[in-house]
Amino acid sequence: SAVISQKPSRDICQRGTSLTIQCQVDSQVTMMFWYRQQPGQSLTLIATANQGSEATYESGFVIDKFPISRPNLTFSTLTVSNMSPEDSSIYLCSVSSAYTGELFFGEGSRLTVL
Amino acid sequence: ILNVEQSPQSLHVQEGDSTNFTCSFPSSNFYALHWYRWETAKSPEALFVMTLNGDEKKKGRISATLNTKEGYSYLYIKGSQPEDSATYLCAKGTNDYKLSFGAGTTVTVRA
């Protein structure tokens, strides 16, 4: 298993500002995943953060809007840039078990954009 | 079915009653089916990862079945307790390690 610490747990942000979410894992992992859940919607994969290379973004998500850093094998950040109310969501980071494939999640960052 | 779908969206259960709900998914390019429980203010937690058609898994009072040919999975809760109140997510995995999630079924157990 993996223990994932994520912060902030929640924040209220003004339109047009940016916020960086931090994710710390208690063990070294190759890939870290960033998900978003908009109200009433499914968890949607934003990007996969790989150590030593650029993140891989899913369709509909771009680096300018969601820049990701992955400076080492235990840490990653996701920035939500130039926020609008549509960015109000829960953002989750996760890692997967190499043995079972199950995901371990942080507790999420609940962002409200006014 | 093009996406992972869960039904119902929500349900209320009397304490002690049993319940079940459904996850439907595209049967093509199937690798695994995951179930997660997400309690308020906590992290989503894996319940089951199933890979084989006909798989049945059990953890305490919770069990799940899988039909990969027709593309559905059922989650069962026997003798519901208040601590079972949560949103239950299913996700289909493909061989590129990515998961496609359903929108979840929110279960509220009334004492």
Query: Residue range B90-101: average pLDDT?
Result: 88
Contact B102 A42 (CB under 8 A): yes
Query: Residue range B53-66: average pLDDT?
Result: 96
> What integer best gives the mean pLDDT of chain B?
94
How many A×B Cβ pairs under 8 Å? 46
pLDDT value of position B1:
62
Contact A107 B89 (CB under 8 A): no
3-state secondary structure of B75: strand
Tell me the shortest Cα–Cα distance from B110 to chain A, in angstroms.
Answer: 23
DSSP code for B29: T
3-state secondary structure of B82: helix
Taking alpha carbons only, the member of A98, A92, A49, A27 closest to residue B43 is A92
pLDDT value of position A84:
97
A2-19 residue pLDDT tens: 899 999 999 999 999 999
β-strands B99-101, B86-93 pairing: antiparallel
Query: Residue range A27-32: average pLDDT?
Result: 91
CA pair distance B21, B9, nearest whole angstrom = 9
pLDDT value of position A19:
97
Tell me the shortest Cα–Cα distance from B5 to chain A, in angstroms.
Answer: 9
Query: Residue range B83-106: average pLDDT?
Result: 92
Q: Chain B contacts of A110, Cβ < 8 Å?
A: none
A100-110 residue pLDDT tens: 889 999 999 99
Interface test with A, best of B7, B9, B35, B43 (most A CBs within 10 A): B43
Query: Residue range A35-48: average pLDDT?
Result: 94
Residue B2 confidence class, pLDDT cut points 50, 70, 90: low
Tokens of A64: 């300018």
Q: Chain A contacts of B41, Cβ < 8 Å?
A: 107
Contact A104 B93 (CB under 8 A): no
B45: nearest CA partner in chain A: A104
The phi and psi torsions of A86 (rounded to 5 degrees) equal -65, -15
pLDDT at A31 over 80: yes
pLDDT value of position A98:
81
Contact A103 B99 (CB under 8 A): yes
pLDDT at B95 over 80: no
Say if B83 is an interface residue toward chain A (CB within 8 Å): no
pLDDT value of position B35:
98
Contact A104 B98 (CB under 8 A): no
pLDDT value of position B31:
92
Q: Chain A contacts of B93, Cβ < 8 Å?
A: 101
Query: Residue range A50-69: average pLDDT?
Result: 93
Cα distances (Å, whole numbers) of residue A22 to A68, A96, B11, B43: 10, 18, 34, 15
Contact B103 A42 (CB under 8 A): yes
Q: Average the pLDDT over each of A80-89, A97-106, B61-70 and give the range with the smallest value.
A: A97-106
pLDDT value of position A14:
97
B103: nearest CA partner in chain A: A42
